[in-house]
Every structure is written in C-alpha cells, then in structure tokens.
Amino acid sequence: MRKHQRPPYLSIALISGAALAYEVLLMRLFSIIQWHHFSYMIIGLALLGYGFSGAIISVFQGWLLQRFTLVFLGSLLLFGLTSVAGFMAAQAMPFNAELILWDYHQVIYLLIIFLLLSLPFFFAASAICLAFMQYRQQVSRIYGWDLAGAGLGSLVVIGLLFVAFPQNALITVGAAGLVSLLVASVELGVKQYRSVSLILLVSTMVLSLLAVNLELNMSPYKSLPQTLRVDGTEVVEQDSSPFGLISIIDSRIVPFRHAPGLSLASTAEPLPQLGIFTDGDNMTVITKAAEDKSQLVYLDQLTSALPYHLADPASVLIVGAGGGTDILQALYHSNNNKTSAAIDAVELNPQLIEIVGSRYSKFNGDLFQHPGVQVYAGDVRGFLTQNQKKYDLIQISLMDAFNASASGLYALNEDYLYTIEALKHYLNHIVPGGILSLTRWIKMPPRDTLKLFATAVEALRQMGVENPSEGLILIRSWQTSTLLVKNGAFSSENIKNIREFSDERSFDVDFAAGFPLAEESYNQMAKPWFQEGTAALLSDKQDQYLDQYKFNLHPAIDDRPYFHHYTKWSSLPEMFKLRDRGGMSLIEWGYVVLVMTLIVAAVLSVILIALPLLALPRSSDKAKAAISKTRVILYFLAIGIAFLFMEIAFMQKFILFLHHPLYSFAVTLAAFLVFAGIGSYLSANMAHYYSRRNLLLGSVAGILLFGVSYIFLLDSLFIWISDTPILLKILLTVVLVAPLALLMGMPFPLALSSLADHAEALVPWAWGINGCASVISASLATLLAIHFGFSTVIMLALALYAGIVFVFPVPPRAVTS
C-alpha cells in the first residue's frame, strides 16, 4: 500500500519529543503535588503504556492497519488530549502516599492514577508502532527520527521549565500533540481538509478549556498547604524552574520562627522571617535585616555555630546559600570577632539566588551584596573543581542533594555531596588547621550521623591520616548533630572550647579524642548509641559493628552514591512487623517504592508479553522460515534492559564530570538519544552494503570496545581534564557519548526490520516487549546501583549486548537479509 511512500517522519519525531517532555513534566508535577518517591513509582509504571500498546496492536493488527491513517491521526489527537485531561483526573484522586500502609484503598487510587497517566504514552507508542508496520522498509529510519525527536524533546522541555510553570508547560505538550496531528495529516497527504480542521478546532477548544481549569492541587499533608491554613499567611511570590517550584510565604499573624536545632537552654527568639518552600516542602527562611546585632544571638545557639568558637575563620565556604541563614551566622560571628571574613556561598538553584539576593534584598538588608559575601550559582563540587581556593571553614548545614529537580527523571536518591570522594574533595580545599563542618538532622535510631562519621573516618584514612580520631569531633542537640573534621588534630585548647560551648547550650559531646565523656547526657536515649557507634567505627571492631548494625552504615562512594540508603534486607521483616507499633518511620520509603515498582512492573510485563501470544499466529509449516518467538523475547528484553542500563549509568558517571546535575542530565540524555537516532538511521543506509547480522556484530563489537574502555578510562580522564571551562566540558561530553550512542542505536532497528521482513506480525509484539523491558530496566538499574555500583550496571549491560548476538531474530536458514 503505502510502503513506498515517505513515512510521516516529522510527526513521529514530534510525538516522540512530546512524550519525553510529558515524562519529564510528570516527574516535576508529581514532585510538587505529592512526594518524589511516589512520583518515581507512578511515572515508572505509567511508561508501561508503551508495553501495553505493543500488546493491543499485536492482537488487533489487521483491523488497525486497514485504517492506518485514521488510527495514526487518532492516536496523535488522543495523546494531545489525554496528556492534559489524564493528569487532571489523576490529580483529583484522593491519594495520600503516607497512608498506604494504613489504608489499602490507597493502592486502588495509585493504580487508577498510573492507568490515567499511562494513556498518553500508550497513544504515542501506538502511533510509532503502527508506522513501523505500515512502512516496513523504513523501520530503522522511523526509529531514528523517533529517538532524535525524543532527544530534542528533552532539551526543549528543560528550556520550557525555565520560562513556564510546569502545569502550563503541560498544556504546551498537549498542544504539541495537536500540532503533530496537523503535521501528520500533511505528511500523509490527507485530503479531507475540512474534517481535519474541524477536529483540530474542537480539540484546541477542549484543550483551552482544560488549560483554564488546570491548577495544581498539592497534597494537604505537605508543609506548604498546612502552613497556609494558619490565619494571616499568604503566598507573596511563586516561581518555577527545572530545580523546583519556589513559594515565598509571608505569615503576618503567627510569624515564622525557624531555628532548627536551637538549644534547649536558649532564651533567644529568631528574627521575623519569610518562608521559602521548594515543591511545597523543605522550608527554609529569609531573615529580616537585624537592627541590632544582639537580635542574631539565636544563630549562636545552634550546633552549627561550633566551628566559630574554635577559630576565627578568615575565609568561609557555605554550601547551599538557600535563604541566607548560614551566611548570616558566619557574618554574625565574624562581626563578633572583629575579623572581616570573606564568605563564599554556593547555591544550586539560580532562581533562589535571584529571589533572596535581589528581589528580597531590601527585606534581608542586602545580605548577598554585603562586602564580605560572594554568592555563586552551581553545585559545590563543580565550584571547588573550577577554582583552586582553600578555606578556613567549609560549612555544610542541613543539606541534601536536591533530586526532585528535572534531573530526577531516573534519579531516586543519588547524592554526591556525602560520598568518600566528596569529603576528600572538601578536605583538599581546606587549609592546614582548617575545619570541615557537617550538620545533619538527627534520625532515631541513628543513621546518617553515624554513616557520615564512618565516611569521614574512611576519607581521612584514604588521605593518609594515621589517627583519624584526632581530627574528628561530634556534638549533638536533640535535633541536629554537627560533625567537625579538621585538617590536622584538635588541640586541648580546642577541646576546652568545645566543652564550654556544649555545656552552655546543653549540647552533648559524643566524640572527641581523649576527652572524658560526660556521665549524664543533656539529650538522652535508651542507650548512648552515638558514643558507642563513633567509638566502634574507629576501633578495629569496625567491620563487626557495621555488620551488627541494623541499618546500612557503609560509606557511599561516587560509583554507588546512595548515602540515604539505610535498609538492610535482614532488618526488613522486623521493621515491617513493627509498623503499626510506632515503627513506620523505620522503613525507608524510597527503597520500598523502588522494589515495589520493580515487582509490579515485572508482573505486569509478564502479562503484557504473554497475552498477545494467544492471538499471534502459531508456528506452522508455512511459517517454518519464521523467526523463533523465544529469540524475539530474549533479544528484545535484553536490548530494552541493556540500552537503559547504559544510558542511566553513564548519565550518572558524567555527573562526576559536569557536576551540575541538571546540565549532565540534559546534555547526556539528549546526546544519547540524538546520536542513537542517527545510528539507527545510518543502519538503514548501511544495510545496503552489509548484512544485518554483520552490522549487528559490528555494532556490538564497537559497543563492547567503547563500554569497556570507558569503564576503565573515564574516571581518570575526568580528573585529568577537570579544570576546563564548562562549555568545553559539555562539548567533550557530547564527543564521548556520540560514538557509543551511535552504535547503541543499531541493534534494535536491525532486529525490528528483520522482523518486519520475515515475520511482520511479531513487530508490535517486539515493540511491546521492548517497552516493558525499559520500565523494568529503570528501577532494576537503580536497585543494582544501590547495591553494587554503576560500574557493575555497565558491565551487566555489556554482557547483555554480548549475549544478544546469539539470539538475533533472523530466520534459521541462511536467507539474504
């Protein structure tokens, strides 16, 4: 039929880009209205829409292909409408993540939500799959445009998020669906102009109607909606970027009095503040300019104030400028000590810098413009790599890597702030005698404080320090703990000051070498776990302690950057049993969600892959030359898993080069997809000169070559060229990703076009298998990375690539392909 006409390449690229943009936006939107972990699960499962489309098309292929144009255009239209309508319906579900272990109805809501969100993916995937079947000779080229479109879509959506609120960007995605409908009707040479115009008109009206009514509905249990219930609170400003939705709140009747970790002995009250919420949670504050220095004394009553009592740092680096509280604390002490410290502050979110630094500078007394203060946009490790400064004090206070930004697409909990390599990096930028100060919230039972301590011990040991105990101090209030790591040993003078500081504020000293610990703590627990833990981690019984501790306290490394992963499988049964006896918070939700996503995806995939088999033609004599179905399953499963394994693992690896989580996500993902698309397209051209089998062998050989060399060489390469300007680094990233991605783009279309030639009924089935595999792959990759590291994920992917050579789906007899 239309087999010799040009496939609707442009509309396919458009719909594919729109689908990826939809995925990124969903992540952003759900992180705002719900919490990041459940967003990950919901969206991960919604992607099964791809697998679902393969199953449906397998069963109804004859019927659908007869009406190709109608169904193709219809899918594009439905994508456009369901992307917005589906989200609005999903948002209306009274889903409350935290209730899930108390109330099983929540699971039903979750299922409905993921079904609603999977519809757009279903429609986009159906359109592409039908195109494969209709234009059998052009499978590789179609796939090339599909991937390239997705790659460009990822860049466009990130750019869009800088200028529009996510809910408005969603409308744009819906509109892109309608535009692709228009483009497709032109590309397919549709003559019924009036019908198409009418449909476009009506759907545009529907979309506009939806757009007008689209408002974000945050879960009532997030801190922002809760805060807004108090009389006299109002949102004075809202701004959005790929880093998050920022909301500035003024509370006129009941002021904000944010002072985390304030000493129990304190009589000071914080100054008036404006609240800053990111994605409706994680409140921090902008503090009103003090009229008198004494009004800031509360900043001296936090555990994070300790380093200022041991020395007068002349140069300070603050990690995470936020609302400026840490800067204020540094200035307060530098004024007190009559030194004028040079304070550098790094902040990841440029919008926050603009808000705190200029829009509200009158409120906070021009804090960021203070002569001693310099604020930089970016992440801390990139900042330290670019400039060679050394500091007297590096202050990292109540900070966690922010993963719900747009770069959180495949991210769950990666945190490069607290790995062993990170601590070494910070320590290398501290002058001899200088201090690294790390403050964290206390969790009960102790988890991250002890893990951080273990990380510091290991970092010091790896730097050649013989007695790490001499350079470590741990103090604690009931709420926060502060760990000091010195470039050197703490003197007895230091210890005296620490003791005084802590006693005055009812803080406990849990570790200080050669310091007799107090008999009675100010902040008691059932057992002195912090004292016992720190002592054990420095002793030769360290391994035994790590074994016996019911949470995972092994330090994180850059290859396995999961500082916030504490769950040990051996402890799960006990924690689960205790869940309604006060033990709910023992369970690490990120991990549980990850495992649940994987299990559900696997189960649903089995159904989606097996079901079409009932409808597909059985092997018969006539079909002796047909391709073995077992091969098809194995091949496409392997490819689906391996491709995403490589993509995810390398995206993380390149974070160690580009540092900035958003840049590395955007650049690496786009580069992977675009070049894989180019590779796919090229494989079509090259198929004129080489057999498919040879092309496959060649591409796999290339993948293995690049893959293996990257595992061994990338890390050293990154270090060697670490201090080049960011633009050059981006270029280099593209150059490094290009050849690997190009080759990776070939195995899928080569096999699919083989199927299109010899067993076309299997094409949608294979597409569905691939879709299911991608979903499983994402969570499986993270799970493996948590336990074994990203290098292992890459090696497994390479093993899978090596293996596909043996199950390449070609007919058994030698046939000229």
Sites of contact with another protein (CB under 8 A): 96, 98-99, 102-103, 220-221, 223, 225-226, 229-231, 253-254, 257-262, 264-269, 442-446, 478-479, 506, 520, 522-527, 529, 532, 536, 545, 548-551, 574-575, 578, 580-586
Instruction: Say which residue the tokens 């958003």 belong to.
Output: 662
- Contact by Cβ (8 Å): 346, 317: yes
CB of 455 to another protein, least distance (A): 18
CA 301 to chain CA centroid, Å, is 35
Q: Find out whether 499 and 548 touch, Cβ atoms under 8 Å.
A: no
Evaluated on CA atoms 498, 442, 565, 113, the torsion sign reads: negative
Q: Nearest approach, Cβ of 503 to another protein (angstroms)?
A: 12
Strand 391-397 with 430-441, pairing: parallel
Nearest distance from C-beta of residue 26 to another protein, angstroms: 24
Which CB sits closer to another protein, 159 or 583? 583
Rank residues 126 and 233 by Cβ distance to another protein and give the closer one: 233
Q: How long, in residues, is the chain?
A: 817
CB of 283 to another protein, least distance (A): 8
Mode of pairing for the β-strands spanning 391-397 and 315-319? parallel
Work out how close the CB of 418 gets to another protein at its nearest, in angstroms, rounded to a whole number: 20
Q: Residue 734: left (phi > 0), alpha (psi -120 to 50), or beta?
A: alpha
Nearer to another protein, 271 or 656 (CB): 271
Separation in Å, CA 245 to CA 14, 21, 242: 27, 18, 8
Q: Cβ 485 to another protein, closest distance in Å?
A: 24
User: 226 or 724: whose CB is closer to another protein?
Assistant: 226
Task: Report the amino acid identity of residue 377.
Answer: A
Which of 571/691 has CB closer to another protein? Answer: 571
Report in angstroms how near the CB of residue 541 gets to another protein at its nearest.
Answer: 8
DSSP 311: -
- Please, which residue, 125 or 398, has the CB nearer to another protein? 398
The Cα–Cα gap between 703 and 806 comes to 16
Compute the least distance from the CB of residue 508 to another protein, in Å: 10
Q: How many CA atoms, within 13 angstroms, populate the side-chain half-sphere of residue 473? A: 30
* Burial label, 705 (beta-carbon count in 10 A; 0-12, 13-18, 19+): middle
Cβ partners under 8 Å of residue 758, min gap 6: 625, 626, 627, 810, 811, 815
Nearer to another protein, 225 or 811 (CB): 225
Cα distance between residue 353 and residue 143, in whole Å: 42
Specify the residue, 444 or 731, whose C-beta has the smaller distance to another protein: 444
583 or 812: whose CB is closer to another protein?
583
Q: Closest approach of Cβ 355 to another protein, in Å?
A: 21
CB under 8 Å to 606, separation ≥6 — which residues?
A: none
> ∠ CA 557-561-567 to the nearest 5 degrees?
105
Q: Give the chain's end-to-end CA distance (angstroms, integer).
A: 22
Query: Is 9 or 551 the residue whose CB approaches another protein more closely?
Result: 551
Q: How far apart (Å, rounded) are the C-alpha atoms in residues 463 and 455? A: 12
Q: Which two tokens stand for residue 213?
A: 């009514």
State how far the alpha carbon of 701 is from the alpha carbons of 643, 679, 806, in Å. 15, 15, 13
Q: Give SS3 for 238.
A: strand
Q: Which of 473, 455, 639 is nearest to 542 (CA)?
A: 455
Least distance from C-beta 263 to another protein, angstroms? 9
CB of 320 to another protein, least distance (A): 17
Tokens of 388: 């060679």
Name residue 473's beta-bridge partners. 484, 512
Specify the residue, 8 or 446, whose C-beta has the smaller distance to another protein.
446
Query: At its nearest, how many Å lie between another protein and the CB of residue 651?
Result: 31
Distance of closest approach, residue 484 Cβ to another protein, in angstroms: 22
Q: Which is nearer to another protein, 285 or 759 (CB)?
A: 285
| Nearest-approach distance from CB 549 to another protein, in angstroms | 6
Residue closer to another protein by CB (options 231, 621) is 231
Closer to another protein at the Cβ: 532 or 715? 532
Distance separating alpha carbons of residues 594 and 412, to the nearest angstrom? 8
The answer to whether residues 358 and 375 touch, using CB atoms and an 8 Å cutoff, is no
CB of 454 to another protein, least distance (A): 14
What is the helix (H) or strand (E) element at residue 409, kind and residue range? none
CA pair distance 35, 97, nearest whole angstrom: 8
97 alpha carbon, distance to own chain's centre:
19
| Closest CB 574 distance from another protein, rounded Å | 7
User: Between residues 440 and 660, which has the closer beta carbon with respect to another protein?
Assistant: 440
Within 47-165, where are the H helices? Answer: 48-66, 68-92, 105-134, 139-163
Tokens of 671: 């580069």
Longest dimension (CA), the chain: 93
- Distance, in Å, from the CA atom of 119 to the CA atom of 142, rounded to the nearest integer, reads 22
* Closer Cβ to another protein, 335 or 506, answer by number: 506
